[in-house]
Amino acid sequence: MKTQSYPRYGKVYLVGAGPGDPELITVKGAKMLKEADVIVYDRLANPALLSMSSEQSEHLYVGKRPDKPSVSQQQINHILVTKARSGKVVVRLKGGDPFVFGRGGEECEALRTAHVPFEVVPGISSALAAPAFAGIPVTYRREARSFTVVTGHTIRNTDAFANWEHLVHTDTLVVLMGMSRLAQIAAMLIEHGRDANTPVGVIEKATYASQRVVVGTLETIAEQTELLAPPGTIVIGTLASKSKQLAWFHAENSIINNGISNDRLHKQFAG
């Protein structure tokens, strides 16, 4: 039986850029950046990572912005296939982990269909890194044995989000890309039976020097975070309250407790 042969192509590496801090990329991820001929990167991948690449490498920005004209997923797939078919080593640099709300699976399907070799280099997802940098464990012995990660990006109405009955019972709920819909999420959780006094932590720009953390409750958190902006990670559950004791990362505007930042607290006590 004659086997079908395909042209020899380059290769595409889907690399997780991690949550933001360039030092949090994996060793293999950094290695692939150095070896890449082409780097195709997203909005949530820290541009500082590009400094790890060779001077001869080509950098293509394909970031998507909510409700703004952006490069389509089909166009991105075409770029990856075309560059690889020209014999290039291509790094597809994606914020967090490629397979956690990053459409990495879709891109792998496109590459497989085009018979282009690919490899996935996992990254640290902000679903784990953001709580860790805020001093919020997502599990804790005898207090929280499970956690659920969902995206708030696609909420257009209250029925499209998820199974609310399930979410109100999860020990720790982590919501990515849900900052603009925080009030709606909190209201729906309360409506479906979650205690209004359930602690909530919101981490803005996790792992960056400008990281800010707000700790409140389902009832108060929307008002407390009015001045915060995406990207942000929402952590809902009793463990969110541990941020006040376990916070270790001292950013420019570290912890905001009930709407008062540490910077303001220090000034009040000093004065």
Low-confidence ranges of the chain (pLDDT < 70): 1-8, 66-67, 154-162, 251-271
For residue 94, what are the β-bridge partners? 16
Q: Please say whether the beta carbons of 139 and 115 come within 8 A.
A: no
CB atoms within 10 A of CB 188: 20
Q: Does domain 11-121 have CATH number 1.20.58.220?
A: no
- Alpha helices per DSSP H over the chain: 27-35, 73-85, 104-113, 126-133, 164-167, 182-191, 221-224, 243-246, 262-270
Active-site residue list: 42, 64, 177
pLDDT at 261: 44
Q: What is the CATH number of domain 126-246?
A: 3.30.950.10
CA distance 20 to 162: 27
Report pLDDT digits (tens) over 99-134.
Answer: 999 999 999 999 999 999 999 999 999 999 999 999
CB atoms within 10 A of CB 39: 25
pLDDT at 153: 72
Question: CATH topology of 11-121 equal to that of 126-246?
Answer: no
pLDDT at 266: 37
* pTM, two decimal places: 0.86
Q: Please say whether the beta carbons of 84 and 107 come within 8 A.
A: no
pLDDT at 24: 98
pLDDT at 245: 95
CA distance 68 to 86: 31
pLDDT at 154: 61
For residue 41, what are the β-bridge partners? 61, 93
Report pLDDT digits (tens) over 258-268.
Answer: 444 444 333 33
| Contacting residues for 246 by C-beta, under 8 A, at least 6 apart | 135, 136, 137
Ranges of each domain in the chain: 11-121, 126-246
Three-class DSSP labels, 102-168: CCHHHHHHHHHHCCCCEEEECCCCHHHHHHHHCCCCCCECCCECCEEEEECCCCCCCCCCCCHHHHC
Give the HSE-up count for residue 132: Cα atoms under 13 Å, Cβ half-sphere: 9
pLDDT at 232: 95
CB atoms within 10 A of CB 227: 10
C-alpha distances in Å from residue 94, one per residue of 71, 78, 98, 116: 14, 16, 6, 19
Q: In the sheet that 118-121 helps form, which strands lie side by side, from edge to edge?
A: 58-61, 38-41, 89-94, 11-16, 118-121
